[in-house]
Amino acid sequence: MIKGNKSVWIVCLIAMVNMMGYGIVFPILYAYSKKYGLTDFQNGLLFAVFSICQFISTPIIGRLSDKYGRRPMLIVSIMGTVVSFFVMAFAPNALFLFIARALDGLTAGNVPVIFAVISDTTKPEERATAFGHVGSAFSFGFIFGPAIAALTLGFGTAMPFIIAGFITLIAVFVTALYLPETNKHMQEVAQGKLFDFSNMWRMLFNPNVGVTFIISLVFFLAFSCAVLYGFQPFTMNILKITESQNAMIFTMFGIVGLITQNLIVGRVNKAFGLQYSFRLGIIFTAISFLIMFISRSLPLFIFASIILAIFNSIVQTLLPTILSQEADAKSQGTIMGLNSSYQSIGMIFGPILGGVVATYMVPLPFLVGGILVALCFFLSFKVSPHVTAQKFK
């Protein structure tokens, strides 16, 4: 069924092109912003402003996609990313860097809308495989993006941002020209606020999706603490490896993730079932963080990174799969948007937590991340995915 599903393969292409743009920009953003005179603290704010704006925008875009359709909201979301890349490329001062990152965050609803398209066009038993294909598309983009950045930097520091803008613009045209509207329940969503902080709090206690949302928040808090912050200080200060070796580890991470999402997730889910596979992914992610915490040699650290790449890919693929089965067909965009907001909260506070604990001991973010993921494992026993008729405001 998935092989003949046009929408799945179109959103996979969109995901790959979109992530390629991010893959071009992400490895050079820190050094690029330094040229504008930003301090390390200001750089931290520059990274945080995206997550803050994304936290606010994703449930709004997800809900609007439930009311007005996936296709128009996907076009608006990706176009915001295109504009942000060009603003970064031609920014006259540091203020425009912040404006660009804020714009990108405010329109960063493409991932939950892509997930909603998958939910619209697949049966529940097909979704783990379909989400795995989207994840592999992201991995493809993230593998080739940094390589493009390395090849184009010689033409000027702004050139990678220009290339990223044009590549992401391809995703806009693909969406506009080839993606059919997949939302068959427009205007059937219950009326409510576009963004409701009190509702976000209440949803954490919702009997259908609350525990899954909590797991998503805590898992991304742990991942951001251990990987987004803790990874590079540990490899450079404890393992004493070079920046190029660091890049090679990230490339390996992407390749292993690609193989996992494309060849392993569907088979594991089919063999062990959704709930057991989800728990397996969580517990081995926690184990990988603990191995990283005790490792003092590069081979052991690489071994732990491979474990992390495999099982983190399983968790991040099965999370939206579970949510898609816990929500009704009319609320897929809303639920995926809310999930992205909870993940954004984790990604806002995770690096801050990592920075605080690393002042006591450089490897400590891995231990904290492992403990938080272990908490997710115990919470996972309260998750029981099922299709429900409930509408989510």
* Domain annotation for the chain: domains and CATH numbers: 1-183 (1.20.1250.20), 196-393 (1.20.1250.20)
Distance CA 76, CA 301 (A): 41
Distance CA 134, CA 12 (A): 5
- pLDDT value, residue 118: 83
Provide the terminal-to-terminal Cα distance of the chain, rounded to the nearest Å.
31
User: Residue 333 corresponds to which amino acid?
Assistant: G
Share of the chain above pLDDT 90, in %: 21
CA geometry: angle 379, 375, 128, nearest 5 deg: 55
CB of 122 closer than 8 Å to CB of 12: no
Calculate the average pLDDT of the chain: 81
DSSP for residue 187: T
Task: Name the token pair of 242.
Answer: 């070079």
Higher pLDDT, 225 or 48: 225
E strand map for 211-366 = none
Overall average pLDDT of the 240-268 stretch:
76
298-326 and 127-152 are packed helices; what angle lies between their axes, rounded to 10 degrees?
Answer: 130
- pLDDT value, residue 368: 96
Higher pLDDT, 74 or 393: 74
CB of 4 closer than 8 Å to CB of 121: no
Distance CA 34, CA 55 (A): 26
CB of 344 closer than 8 Å to CB of 51: yes
- pLDDT value, residue 392: 39
pLDDT at 329 over 80: no
- pLDDT value, residue 8: 80
- Rg over alpha carbons for the chain, rounded to the nearest Å, is 20
User: Pseudo-torsion of CA 51, 55, 61, 64, nearest 10°?
Assistant: -170
CB of 375 closer than 8 Å to CB of 75: no
DSSP for residue 381: G
pLDDT tens readout for residues 298-328: 999 999 999 999 999 899 888 888 887 877 7
- pLDDT value, residue 388: 36
Token pair 């806002």 is found at 348
Neighbours of 123 (CB within 10 A): 9
CA atoms within 13 A on the CB side of 193: 8
Distance CA 51, CA 382 (A): 28
- pLDDT value, residue 4: 60
b/e sequence 349-381, b meaning 16+ C-beta within 10 Å: bbbebbeebbeeeebbbbbbbbebbbbbbebbe
Task: Name the token pair of 125.
Answer: 């038993």
pLDDT tens readout for residues 34-69: 788 876 667 667 777 887 887 778 778 877 887 788
Short-list 147, 117, 109, 143, CA closest to 9: 117
Residues with Cβ < 8 Å from 293, sequence gap 6 or more? Answer: 363, 364, 366, 367, 370
pLDDT tens readout for residues 141-192: 777 777 777 777 778 888 888 988 898 898 888 888 888 888 877 666 555 5
Overall average pLDDT of the 91-120 stretch:
85
Phi and psi at residue 327, to the nearest 5°: -110, 155
CB of 222 closer than 8 Å to CB of 354: no
Higher pLDDT, 278 or 246: 278
SS3 238: coil
- pLDDT value, residue 377: 95
